[in-house]
Amino acid sequence: MEEGHNKYIYNSFNEYISNYGTFKHIQGAIRPYYESFPYNVIVEETEHTESIIRDCLRLRLYLLKFATKETCEKKNCCEYVNYLLNYYIRNYYESQKSIFKNYTSYMNDDSNHDIKELCGSKINDIDDNRYEKISKLYSGYEICEHFISNKHDSRTCSLAKSCSFAYNDIITTHPELNDVKFYIYSSN
């Protein structure tokens, strides 16, 4: 999809589910890394400083799971983590702009050259229109994943309807040709 001169590549269903799983796997494994956090990157101390540090450490562990830029690009990991950071900011913090400065400061700190090389330039504030579109898409993916992973559940018909409704709602809401491409499930 073209927006200005920036091309945004949305995660396919399989990319999203893979990235979501990778992130969930590392989410609780950050405690040993607290001492390595470069505190000079905190732009503004807030009541959320500890949460921001946890977000940053999770970001680092998540990106290090991909090891190389090629692997990260293949899995579209930067777009996923950028959405995730934007999600956190919109849903958990009041002072959104200053919080985002903390994330970008952390990503681009010299002590983080490994993750900076992977995604440093791709972490940015997503505009509201694009964010809502991505959020709707990923919510649809989660509904469909719930259906797929619970095939033998007694609620299969209800889950199938929810998945179909989510997909059709997205297609109807965003019928532009460039948008339709990002809804198609990956066959990989």
Q: What is the pLDDT of residues 19-69, one digit of tens each?
A: 999 999 998 888 888 888 998 887 677 788 888 899 999 999 999 999 889
Share of the chain above pLDDT 70, in %: 87
C-alpha to C-alpha distance for 64 and 114, rounded to whole angstroms? 8
The whole-number average pLDDT for the span 87-110 is 85
| DSSP states of 65-79 | TT-SHHHHHHHTHHH
Would you give the end-to-end CA distance of the chain in angstroms?
A: 21
Instruction: Give Cβ neighbours of residue 115 (< 8 Å, ≥ 6 apart).
Output: 59, 60, 63, 64, 107
The whole-number average pLDDT for the span 67-93 is 91
Instruction: Give Cβ neighbours of residue 89 (< 8 Å, ≥ 6 apart).
Output: 96, 99, 100, 103, 125
C-alpha to C-alpha distance for 179 and 173, rounded to whole angstroms? 10
The whole-number average pLDDT for the span 130-158 is 84
Is residue 183 scored above 60 in pLDDT? no
0.85 cut: is pTM over it?
A: no
Greater pLDDT, 54 or 180 = 54
What are the residue boundaries of the structural domains of the chain, listed by start? 2-183
Share of the chain above pLDDT 90, in %: 28
The candidate with the shortest Cα–Cα distance to 136, out of 103, 168, 170, is: 170
Token pair listed for 187: 């066959």
State whether the Cα torsion 13-14-15-17 is positive or negative: positive
The candidate with the shortest Cα–Cα distance to 56, out of 81, 22, 90, is: 81
pLDDT, the chain, mean: 82
